Amino acid sequence: MATHTQGGRVHATPGADDLAEGRIVNVQGGDWDQEMGELGMNPEERIVLNMGPQHPSTHGVLRLILELDGETVTEARAGIGYLHTGIEKNMEFRTWTQGVTFCTRMDYLTPMFQEAAYCLAVEKVLGITDDIPERASAIRVLMMELTRISSHLICLGTGGMEMGATTIMTISFRERERILSVIENITGLRMNNAYVRPGGVAQDLPHGAIDKIREMVPQVRKGIGELEKLLLENPILKGRTKRVGELSLTGCTALGITGPVLRSTGLPHDLRKLTPYCGYDKYDFEVITRTGADAYDRLAIRLAEMRESLKIVEQVTDELQRNPGPVMVADKRVAWPSQLAVGGDGMGNSLDHIREIMGTSMEALIHHFKLVTEGFRVPPGQAYVAVESPKGELGCHVVSDGGTRPYRAHFRDPSFNNLQAVAAMCEGGNLADVIVAVASIDPVMGGVDR
């Protein structure tokens, strides 16, 4: 039976498709409460809405199952697994060095952090943590902080775009291009770099890299200033983000939430200060906190954190200019034998290095071949190392059985843990605020599903 209204009245007419389609309701004009009353609808009925995975704001990889009472969200759940890649399992079938190529692709917006956490864990099992050259650690800090800025810019840009502020996206992506240009100059790739290696980094900074960084820093700082002027005192943005997606310190602690979401509750939890790694204790920077515990404060924290990252980048470039040195551990049983260089044919082995290997001795050539093809052995044991990624605590737990491949490599991805906050942030709020709340978490599903 088909039901329709005319002139504010409800009409039901029999149709041939009753059994196929069920009840069809067409409402035209009249008061909504009156229309629903005449239809005899149960006021306790709820609508279940699938927001994603095919949705502009979930990018085809996140499914939000929302139960609605009108415009109010009464229940919210996150459906994951749409971007599963099997990276952790694949790492068990590759050498320890080749594992970097896999884990860098998990959270594809923060590749340097996965690489650093993994390599620090491998070095801990090897017992060579204190043998890593200072220059290599400084370069790791440089690359991680550049990546932190790049990730925050993506968070702000896509979040602004999802709220209709396309100018925020264009400015954020413009500044991110400056960052990626420097990263590409140093590593040869914009993303998924496989640059941090067990024992150090793949290659030293190329000629002119420090000058390029120093030219880039004031430009990006100016761009961050533009974003601050557009965002922080914007009444429309405040109306969309203030008291939206609230999550208290108690909620963060119960759910294991870290990163800007946790620091928006006022707790200065930052692993760079609490358990320094890669020499972070040598650099002067502030841990940014706020107390609003909402989407607005998380946005403001990320803006301020980018400024602090630029401060660290300036300090690291000064240190790198003062202190030349090796960028790979001296132990030849572990040190990756290749010495990459940027030449006319792109990124590859230095020709001088190839001549040296070929001309030194047959034993040196055999060692080079075996280390590249078989990899080095890691003594039996396990280690867990955590770093402060742009999204929170990123941990890596590696287990070795004494072979040339990981027995197990498992990552604590902050996006996975932080997504647990979807229900707490969204339930009781408006449907339109779900996108703002999820954007303030800044989840990347490559890291969640892996």
CA gap 248, 250 in Å, rounded: 5
CA gap 329, 349 in Å, rounded: 18
The tally of CA atoms less than 13 A away on the side-chain side of residue 431 is: 13
Beta-carbon count within 10 A of 382 CB: 14
More confident residue, 346 or 330: 330
DSSP structural state of residue 150: H
pLDDT of residue 7: 42
Name the 3-class secondary structure at 58: coil
pLDDT in tens, 19-42: 455 556 565 666 666 655 655 555
Banded model confidence at residue 374, pLDDT cuts 50, 70, 90: confident
Detail the DSSP E strand segments found in 60-216. 63-69, 72-79, 196-197, 200-201
Are the C-beta atoms of 76 and 426 separated by less than 8 Å? yes
CA gap 220, 175 in Å, rounded: 6
DSSP structural state of residue 419: G
Non-local (6+) Cβ contacts of 427 within 8 A are: 73, 74, 75, 76
CA gap 397, 117 in Å, rounded: 9
CA gap 114, 98 in Å, rounded: 13
CATH topology for 87-334+376-449?
Cytochrome-c3 Hydrogenase; chain B (1.10.645)
Length of the chain: 450
DSSP structural state of residue 91: G
Query: What is the location of CATH 1.10.645.10 in the chain?
Result: 87-334+376-449
Averaged confidence pLDDT in the chain: 86
pLDDT in tens, 85-134: 899 999 999 999 999 999 999 989 999 999 999 999 999 999 999 999 99
**Which pair of tokens denotes residue 24?**
């069809």
Q: Are strands 63-69 and 24-26 parallel, antiparallel or unpaired?
A: unpaired
> Quick check: 299 pLDDT over 70?
yes
pLDDT of residue 338: 65
**How buried is 372 (Cβ within 10 angstroms: 0-12 exposed, 13-18 middle, 19+ buried)?**
middle
Q: What's the one-letter identity of residue 186?
A: I
- Rounded to 10°, the helix 166-187/209-231 angle is 170
pLDDT in tens, 173-199: 999 999 999 999 998 888 888 899 999
DSSP structural state of residue 71: T
